[in-house]
C-alpha cells in the first residue's frame, strides 16, 4: 500500500511539471482527409511550378496545397489556428507576398478576421496566432499527390 501511494504521488507531481505551453488551447478538429491530385491534369498542371497553390474541398474549412519555394509540397487546413471556431477564421492566400492570412476576400477586397499571417510552409509569420496551420500528410507518387491524415 505504501508503494502504491508513493507511486501515485510521484505520477501526480510528474504530470504537474509537464510543460503544456505548446498545446493549442483551441485545436482544430480532426476530420478524415483522403485526397488524390493528378498533376498531369490541366486543372493541376500549374502545380508543377514552385510558389503555386490549389484550393480543395475537405478538412475543416477546406484544404490548400502548396508547392513551396523549397520545392516541397505542403497541405494545410484552411482553418486559422487562432480561434478556429470563429466563422471568419479561414485562411486566404496573399499571392503577392506568398503568405496566408486570416480573413476572407469579397467584391470589396480582403476583410481580415485577425492579424495572423503564415508562411507558405504553415509557420506563424505574424500573430496573434501562436501555432502553425494544421498540416496534413502529403506524399508524391509520380504525378499523383496524396493528401491524408
In a domain, 7, yes or no: no
List, for residues 22-78, the tens digit of each pLDDT value: 555 677 889 999 999 999 999 999 999 999 999 999 999 999 999 999 999 999 999
Q: How many structural domains comprise the chain?
A: 1
Residue 109 in any domain: the answer is yes
Evaluate if residue 134 carries a pLDDT over 50: yes
Q: Is residue 1 part of a domain?
A: no
Query: Please, what's the largest Cα pairwise distance for the chain?
Result: 71
What are residue 37's DSSP bridge partners?
145
65 part of a folded domain: yes
Structural domain contains residue 135? yes
Residue 5 covered by a domain: no
For 65-80, b/e burial (b = at least 16 CB within 10 A) is bbbbeeeebbbbbbbb
CATH code for the domain in which residue 33 is found? 2.102.10.10
Q: How far is CA 39 from the centre of its chain?
A: 22
pTM: 0.80
Amino acid at each position: 500500500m505504501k508503494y502504491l501511494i508513493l507511486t501515485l504521488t510521484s505520477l501526480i507531481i510528474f504530470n504537474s511539471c509537464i510543460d503544456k505551453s505548446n498545446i493549442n488551447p483551441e485545436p482544430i478538429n480532426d476530420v478524415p482527409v483522403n485526397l488524390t491530385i493528378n498533376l498531369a491534369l490541366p486543372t493541376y498542371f500549374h502545380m508543377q511550378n514552385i510558389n503555386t497553390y490549389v484550393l480543395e474541398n475537405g478538412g475543416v474549412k477546406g484544404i490548400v496545397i502548396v508547392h513551396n519555394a523549397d520545392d516541397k509540397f505542403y497541405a494545410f487546413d484552411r482553418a486559422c489556428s487562432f480561434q478556429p471556431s470563429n466563422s471568419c477564421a479561414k485562411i486566404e492566400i496573399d499571392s503577392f507576398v506568398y503568405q496566408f492570412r486570416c480573413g476572407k476576400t469579397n467584391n470589396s477586397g480582403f476583410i481580415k478576421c485577425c492579424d495572423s499571417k503564415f508562411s507558405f510552409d504553415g509557420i506563424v509569420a505574424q500573430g496573434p496566432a501562436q501555432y502553425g496551420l494544421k498540416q496534413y500528410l502529403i506524399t508524391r507518387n509520380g504525378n499523383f499527390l496524396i493528401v491524408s491524415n
